């Protein structure tokens, strides 16, 4: 394996210090990649950062727990935060390029008004996560728009782990005519199949084995999809979760990939994706 050389990593917490640095690095030909995160970084985040490093001269990673996308105060409070560890993890990637970490305060992003915009994403925001986390995507849209304005990247990287969010960000960029390419990155998983998530660290070892039920159900759905009626698949998934006292299914949905409308009948020219949200205690896990 080739040795990895860390050229440099700079950390900024204010826009006043970030902007001169970005201005000094940007040439008309150079490309700036952006990876927005809420920290508590894991291999899923690192895979986005690595891809951004490959595809851009400079990469900005933001670490900001966005208050306006939490519809549950307890979830916001218990969301893991550890900037020191996050910086170590980013440093461990190494890079021949420039990595800039932007870890702003609430005031740097929102000024003195921590409010969300009432975006209409054409119905994308009303399905699944939108139904169960009212206002969530308004908060996501608000912070992503603000961060894109602050950073001004050529390309921004988002994980398919949050597939509905990814579709909404693409829509946001179209609606606002923002000059940025949205790059979709595949889901990183634990060996058990459990999708990596910042929330996983709150699971006990025993709970982790129950959490892998989510991936098993999605895999079976894929296998059954071509020859089993949708309502039978849905019932089968519900039954699997019913049998498990540790994990509680919040929703299972097979949706058309672009509109995220629930699939009623399958049209061969369209693509479909299955989505699950489930709880272990108060820990909410999503996958697709
Ligand atoms: P978060 O910190 O949860 O807001 O996530 C920041 C970005 O990382 C989002 O674009 C997520 O979709 C992405 N991400 C989170 N978990 C994973 C994963 N397991 N695989 C790939 N991307 C992920």
What is the structure's pLDDT at 28? 73
What is the structure's pLDDT at 59? 95
What is the structure's pLDDT at 97? 75
Q: State if residue 169 touches ligand 1 by the CB under 6 angstroms criterion.
A: no
What is the structure's pLDDT at 281? 97
Cβ(44)–Cβ(197) under 8 Å?
yes
Atom 11 in ligand 1: residue holding the nearest Cα: 159
The single residue listed with the structure tokens 């209409």 is: 120
Residue 159 Cα: closest atom of ligand 1: 12
Angle at 37 between CA 34 and CA 39, to 5 degrees: 135
Q: Residue 146 and residue 15: Cα distance in Å, rounded?
A: 12
Mean pLDDT by 10 residues, the chain (288 residues): 55 95 83 96 97 94 97 89 94 84 97 95 97 96 98 97 98 97 98 96 96 98 96 98 97 97 93 98 96
Q: State if residue 280 touches ligand 1 by the CB under 6 angstroms criterion.
A: no
Q: Best substitution site from 35, 155, 161 to test ligand 1's pocket, by max atoms within 8 Å of Cβ?
A: 161
- Positive or negative, the Cα torsion across 188, 194, 199, 205? negative
Residue 197 Cα: closest atom of ligand 1: 16
Give me the active site residues, please: 45
Atom 13 in ligand 1: residue holding the nearest Cα: 159
Largest CA distance in the chain: 58
Nearest to 183 by CA among 6, 56, 275: 56
What is the structure's pLDDT at 171? 98
Residue 186 Cα: closest atom of ligand 1: 21
What is the structure's pLDDT at 7? 56
What is the structure's pLDDT at 9? 86
Q: Residue 187 and residue 182: Cα distance in Å, rounded?
A: 16
Alpha-carbon Rg for the chain, nearest whole angstrom, is: 20
């Amino acid at each position: 394996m080739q040795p990895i050389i860390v050229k440099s990593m700079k950390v900024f917490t204010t826009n006043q210090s970030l902007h001169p640095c970005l201005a000094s690095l940007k040439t008309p030909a150079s490309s700036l990649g952006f990876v927005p995160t809420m920290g508590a970084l894991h291999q899923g985040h690192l895979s986005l950062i690595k891809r951004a490093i490959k595809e851009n001269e400079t990469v900005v990673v933001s670490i900001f727990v966005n208050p306006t996308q939490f519809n549950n105060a307890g979830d916001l409070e218990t969301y893991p935060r550890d900037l020191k560890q996050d910086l170590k993890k980013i440093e461990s990637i190494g890079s021949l390029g420039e990595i800039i970490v932007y870890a702003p305060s609430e005031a740097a992003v929102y000024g003195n008004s921590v409010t969300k915009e009432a975006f209409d994403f054409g119905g994308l925001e009303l399905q699944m996560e939108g139904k169960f986390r009212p206002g969530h995507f308004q908060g996501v849209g608000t912070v992503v728009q603000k961060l894109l304005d602050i950073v001004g990247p050529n390309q921004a990287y988002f994980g398919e782990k949050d597939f509905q969010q990814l579709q909404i960000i693409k829509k946001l960029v179209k609606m606002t005519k923002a000059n940025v390419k949205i790059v979709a990155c595949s889901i990183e998983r634990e060996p058990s199949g459990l999708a990596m998530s910042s929330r996983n660290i709150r699971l006990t070892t025993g709970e982790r084995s129950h959490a892998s039920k989510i991936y098993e159900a999605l895999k079976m759905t894929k296998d059954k999809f071509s020859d089993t009626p949708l309502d039978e698949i849905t019932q089968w998934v519900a039954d699997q979760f019913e049998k498990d006292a540790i994990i509680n299914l919040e929703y299972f949905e097979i949706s058309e990939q672009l509109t995220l409308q629930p699939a009623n009948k399958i049209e061969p020219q369209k693509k479909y994706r299955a989505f699950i949200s489930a709880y272990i205690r108060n820990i909410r896990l999503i996958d697709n």
